[in-house]
Amino acid sequence: MGEQYGGDHQDFRDGEFNGPFIAKQVEYHQHGPGPTALDALPPKVGGFTGRSDQLGELLGAFDPAGGEAPGAVLVAAVSGLGGIGKTALAVEAAHKACDKGWFPGGVLFVNLHGYDDDRVTAEQALETLLRGLGTPPEHIPNGVDARAALYRSVLAARERDLGAVLVLADNASSAEQVRPLHPGGVRHRLLATSRSKLPQLGARLLPLGELSPKEAYDLLDRALRIAAPGDARVVDEGEAAAELGLLCGHLPLALQIAAALLVLDRDKPVAELVVELAESGDRLLHLDDGERSVRAAFDLSYRRLPAEQARLLRLLALAPGPEVTAEVVAVLDGADAAPVRVLDALCRAHLVERGSRRGRWRLHDLVRVFGVGVVEGDVGLWEEGEAARERVLEFYYRWADAADDRLRWLPGRPVPERFGDRAEALAWLDSERAGLVAAVQWAREERYAATAVLLSQRLGEYLDWRRFFDDKITVCGAAREVAHRAGNRVDEAIAWNSLGIALQETGRAGEAIDAHTRARDLHQAVEDHHGEAGAWGNLGSALWEAGRAMEAIDAHMRARDLFQAVGDRHAEARAWDNLGLALRQAGRAEEAIDAHTQARDLYQAVGDRHGEARGWNNLGGALWEAGRREEAVEACEKALEGLREFEDWYGAGRTLSNLALAHQHAARPAEARTAYLQSADAYTRANAPTEAAQARTRAEALTP
C-alpha cells in the first residue's frame, strides 16, 4: 500500500491493482483518553450516623474475597420508605469500599429518578453509564439489549485493565429499570436503592427501617454540632430530644429537617420545637425546611400507587391503634376478607409494614399522618373514611360484647355463641386490645360517641382481668367525659365506677373513693338500686384500701343489703366476700370467717367456680388470722386449684404467697421458698412486676 508523504496527496507508487479502484481522502485524528465519570460518587452525607449492621452487610456483599465463591453477591438492593436514608447508606458504603481499594476500576453513579414524572429508562441509564465509561456518543447503539451488551463488554475490558467497578443505581422504582444495568463478570458489583423491595432482581435484599432512638438522638446532635460545634442543645435537653425523635418517627429525613429548623434558630429550645410538633394538627406541615419536605417525599410514592392500593393506604391511616389485624383490614375495606395481594404490594413499596406477628399490619407514624392529611383534604375521601371508621367501631362493639358475655358467663345461663370458651374470648381481646382502647377515644366525636361509650363498658371486665389498669383509666376517662357532656347520668355513673376500680388498683385510693362516691350519687339520683349497690361495694373496697375499715364495713353492708333486695345472689356473694376483708382489717376475724363462708357458699350455688376460688382464698386468710392454721392451708390449696383452672395468675400469686407465709410459720423454709418462687412466676404472668419482685426477694431471704 501507498504511504502519505505530505499535503493532501496519496502516493500509490508501490501499489498493485487488478481492477478499477476509487481513492478518497481520509482524515486521521489523534484522540486523548475519552472522558469518564468513574469518580462520580456523590460525597458522603454530612452527619451520617448509625446503620452499623446494615453497613456491615453491604460491605460484606462488596467484599471481593467472595467474588469467586458459589452464590456470590453481585447485586445488592437497599429499599425503604421515602426519607429513610437509603442513598446516604449506599453512598457511605461505597466510599468505605473504595477506601479499602476494592474497586480500582472506579465507581459509576446514576440517579434513575424512579418516582419522578420523567423517570430514567434503562436505555437512558445505559447511555449515561457508557458515556461515564468513556464511550463516544456516536458509538453507543440504540436499544436496551445492544447497549447492555456493549456496557458489559466495556466493563469486562476495564476489569482486565484496571480491576472491578462498582455501579450505584440510585432511586429505582422497578426491577425493569435496574436489571439491564447488571455489570456481568464476578468482580463487579451493582448496588441499587429503591422505595420498593425489588425481589425480582435476585439480589441481596436489605430493607431499611427507622433509626433506633439512640441513632436518632445522635443524628440530631451531630447535625447541630456540624453547624456550630458548641451547640449542645440536644445533650442539654435529652428528654426533649428523645421526644423530638419520636415525633419525627425516627425517620432520617424528618430528623434532618428538624435539625435544620433548630440550626436556623439557635435560640429555639428543643422543647419548644417538640411542643410545636406535638400540638400541631398536621406534623408534616412543620417538617419542611423550604428545600426538603417529608410530605413531598411521601407524595412521590403515593402518586405512583394504583387506585386500589392508594385507597387501602388511606383507610389504614384511619385505623385505631398502632397496628391492625387482617380482620380489621377487611372491615376497613368493606370486604369479607383482607385484600392480601394489595397489602403485599404496599409492603413491597414500604408504605405498609408487617406488624408484631403474622397477619398484622402497621404504618410508620408519619405515613399515617400523611394518609390522614390526604383524606381530610378531599370531601369524598373524608366521607369514605368516616364510613370505614364506623364499620370498625361497630365490628369492635359486636365482638367485644360477645367476648364480655363469655367472660361473665356462668353455668345455667344461655351459652354465648361467638366464642367457644373463655380462653378464645381472651385471645381475641388480647389481639385487638390496642385498637379497642384507641377506638373508645373516638367517643369524643359526636358521630361515634354512643357506640364508643358502649364499647368502653364491654372492656371493663377484660381490662381488670388482665390488669391493664392504665388502659382502663384511659377508656373510662373518655367515656365519662362524653356521658357527662351528653347528660347521660347512668353512663356517667358506670364510667366513674369503672374508673374508680382502676384508680384503686394503681394505688390512688383517695381518687378512687371520690370516683365511687360520684358513681353512687348518680345512681341514687336516677333510682338505679342495682347500680347503687355496685357503687357502694366499690366504695367499700376503696375505703378498705385506704385503711378506713369501719367505713368500709358500712359500705359493704349497704351493698349486700341492696343486692339482696334486688335478688342478685351472684353480686351478693361478692359483697359478702368484700365485707369479710373489711372485718378482718378491723380485727374481727370470726365475723370475717362467717362472711367469707357465706360468700363461698353463694358462689357455689350460682356456679361461679372462679368466685368460689377467691372465696376459699379469703376464707383461708381469715382462718389464719383466727389461729386456725391447718384449716387455713387447706383453704388456700382449694383456692389454688380453682385460680389455676381459670388462669387467674394474680389470684394464684397472692394465694401462693399466703401458703409460703404459712410454711414459714410452720418452720418449713424450703417449702416456703418454693411457694414464693411459684408466686413470683404467677405474678409475672399476671402483669404484676412489683408483686413478682417482692415474692422473689422473700424467696431469696430464705435461701440456705
CA-to-CA dists, residue 462 to 120, 242, 405, 513, angstroms: 56, 33, 11, 22
Domain C-terminal end among 270, 295, 320: 295
Residues 87, 133 within the same domain: yes
Q: What value does the mean pLDDT take over residues 169-185?
A: 92
For residue 627, give every residue at least 6 positions away whose Cβ sits within 8 Å of its Cβ, in sequence order, or none. Answer: none
Say whether 207 sits in a helix, a strand or coil: strand
Counting the structural domains of the chain, the total is 4
Q: What is the DSSP string of 113-178?
A: -TTSTTPPPHHHHHHHHHHHTT--GGGPPSSHHHHHHHHHHHHHHHHHHT--EEEEEEEE--HHHH
Q: What value does the mean pLDDT take over residues 517-527?
A: 96
Residues 57, 196 within the same domain: yes
CA-to-CA dists, residue 409 to 403, 419, 568, 579, angstroms: 10, 11, 15, 24
CA angle at 305 for the pair 299 and 309, rounded to the nearest 5°: 115
Looking at the DSSP bridge assignments, the partners of residue 3 are: 11
Looking at the DSSP bridge assignments, the partners of residue 109 are: 168
CA-to-CA dists, residue 331 to 46, 370, 396, angstroms: 45, 21, 10
Least confident of 21-25, 36-40, 108-112, 273-277: 21-25
For residue range 540-560, list pLDDT tens digits in order. Answer: 999 999 999 999 999 999 999
What is the Cα–Cα distance from 613 to 526, expressed in whole angstroms? 35
Output the nine-digit C-alpha cell for 12: 500509490
Establish if 667 belongs to a structural domain. yes
Domain C-terminal end among 192, 207, 222: 207
pLDDT of 14 strictly over 50: no
Q: What value does the mean pLDDT take over residues 393-397?
A: 97
For residue 217, give every residue at least 6 positions away whose Cβ sits within 8 Å of its Cβ, in sequence order, or none. Answer: 234, 238, 241, 242, 245
Residues 180, 148 within the same domain: yes
Which residue, 595, 667, 602, 668, is CA-closest to 625?
595
For residue 577, give every residue at least 6 positions away whose Cβ sits within 8 Å of its Cβ, in sequence order, or none. Answer: 595, 596, 599, 611, 614, 615, 618
Domain C-terminal end among 295, 313, 334: 295
Residue 567: what pLDDT?
94
- Look at strands 75-79 and 204-207 and give their pairing: parallel
Residue 37: what pLDDT?
56
**What CATH number did the domain enclosing 178 receive?**
3.40.50.300
Establish if 482 belongs to a structural domain. no
For residue 132, give every residue at least 6 positions away whose Cβ sits within 8 Å of its Cβ, in sequence order, or none. Answer: 36, 37, 38, 40, 108, 110
Looking at the DSSP bridge assignments, the partners of residue 191 are: 76, 168
pLDDT of 421 strictly over 60: yes
CA angle at 185 for the pair 184 and 186, rounded to the nearest 5°: 125
Residues 237, 201 within the same domain: no
Residues 202, 349 within the same domain: no
Domain boundaries, position 323 = 305-377
Q: What value does the mean pLDDT take over residues 43-56?
A: 86
Residues 62, 184 within the same domain: yes
Residue 576: what pLDDT?
97
Which residue, 198, 265, 197, is CA-closest to 233?
265
Percentage of the residues of the chain whose pLDDT score is greater than 90:
79
pLDDT of 7 strictly over 80: no
Establish if 31 belongs to a structural domain. no
pLDDT of 68 strictly over 80: no
DSSP state of 531: H
Establish if 458 belongs to a structural domain. no
Residue 282: what pLDDT?
87
Looking at the DSSP bridge assignments, the partners of residue 170 are: 111
Using CB atoms within 10 Å of the CB of residue 5, give its burial: 0 to 12 exposed, 13 to 18 middle, 19+ buried. exposed
**What CATH number did the domain enclosing 692 receive?**
1.25.40
Establish if 557 belongs to a structural domain. no
Establish if 155 belongs to a structural domain. yes
Which amino acid would we find at residue 433? R
Which amino acid would we find at residue 412? G
DSSP H/E element including 314: helix 307-317
Residues 84, 175 within the same domain: yes
**What CATH number did the domain enclosing 337 receive?**
1.10.10.10
Q: What value does the mean pLDDT take over residues 264-275?
A: 94
Residues 83, 185 within the same domain: yes
What pLDDT band is residue 289 in, cutting at 50, 70 and 90? confident
Establish if 358 belongs to a structural domain. yes
Task: Give Cα 475 to chain centroid, integer Å.
Answer: 20
What is the Cα–Cα distance from 631 to 619, expressed in whole angstroms? 9
Total count of residues recorded for the chain: 704
Percentage of the residues of the chain whose pLDDT score is greater than 70:
93
For residue 550, give every residue at least 6 positions away whose Cβ sits within 8 Å of its Cβ, in sequence order, or none. Answer: 586
Residues 62, 171 within the same domain: yes
Residues 654, 701 within the same domain: yes
Establish if 82 belongs to a structural domain. yes
Output the nine-digit C-alpha cell for 508: 390512688
Residues 199, 328 within the same domain: no
Terminal-residue alpha carbon distance, the chain: 109
pLDDT of 25 strictly over 70: no
CA trace torsion 252, 254, 259, 265 (10° rounding): 170
Residues 171, 250 within the same domain: no
How does the average pLDDT of the chain come out, rounded? Answer: 89
Using the Cα atoms of residue 56, residue 58, residue 62 and residue 68 in order, give the sign of their dihedral: positive
CB half-sphere exposure, 361, CA atoms < 13 A: 28
What pLDDT band is residue 41 in, cutting at 50, 70 and 90? confident
Q: What is the DSSP string of 557-570?
A: HHHHHHHHHHT-HH
